[in-house]
Amino acid sequence: MRLLFLGDVVGRPGRQVVAELLPGLRQSWRLDCVVINGENAAGGFGITEAICDELLAAGADAVTLGNHSWDQREALVFIERQPRLIRPINYPLGTPGRGAALIETESGRRVLVINVMGRLYMDPLDDPFAAVDRELHACPLGAVCDAAIVDVHAEATSEKQGMGVFCDGRASLVIGTHTHVPTSDHRIMPGGTAFMSDAGMCGDYDSMLGMAKEEPLRRFLEKTPGTRLEAASGEGTLSGLAVETDDRTGLAIRVSPVRLGGCLEPVMPGFWT
């Protein structure tokens, strides 16, 4: 299978670059499944139903979230009727929505998508490792699903890497989100799971983590209250990871970062071009 994961969509530049590039990539790369983290898609804070629909229409099969899941209060309601919007699985019992979904692709293959949030320097949710372990046991790779993607929304690279090691051999891809900076450690782990500490963001990199530079810089310099952060408005970069899996095992056989548009140096998976 051919999988594409795109990092946190931040504001209008992130949404625009997804809308402009993803439909063509989906066709030219013959992608089986696309997952996008959309927790910053609404001006950098949360997601609305209209924006979720926009990402799905552009070619996403599922949209994952994170610590900004509920910044737009409407998400607490529409997530119940949108099965392809996935919030962290380790939110407490009774939280609206779902933390995992089994997505059926156009070819009839099944992809398990899990979203989990780390606990280091983040909100102290339930144990992320236990929550992911339960889901992987309930929907094992190669038996119930043909591929499994775990989005680890976390601050600490150690925690993300720990989840990668924990899931190695049981998931097709474990990929970090949240820090908005693409890492260069993409690889296939010994057990066959593709891994990257952070997918980066889909947004304007001439910014501070996707936000217009003036206010966050002022906060560093002055340490006084100021105005609300606003998403940057320049040209966006599409940033994420491409993975090809073995149809027999569901494990990764090829992996490449993806960066297109904007001010970062372009990177494409040579094995699909």
| Alpha carbons 85 and 66: distance in angstroms, whole number | 11
Candidates 68, 153, 178, 186; catalytic one: 68
Q: Enter the DSSP assignment of 95.
A: -
pLDDT of residue 233: 93
Instruction: List the domains of the chain with CATH numbers.
Output: 2-272 (3.60.21.10)
pLDDT digits (tens, 9 = 90+) for 60-86: 999 999 999 999 999 999 999 999 999
Whether 178 is catalytic is: no
Report yes or no: 198 and 183 within 8 Å, Cβ to Cβ: yes
- The pLDDT, as a whole number, for residue 273 is 72
For 176-231, write each residue's pLDDT tens digit.
Answer: 999 999 999 999 999 999 999 999 999 999 999 999 999 999 999 998 888 899 99
The amino acid at 109? R
* Per-residue pLDDT at 258: 98
Token pair for 30: 């013959």
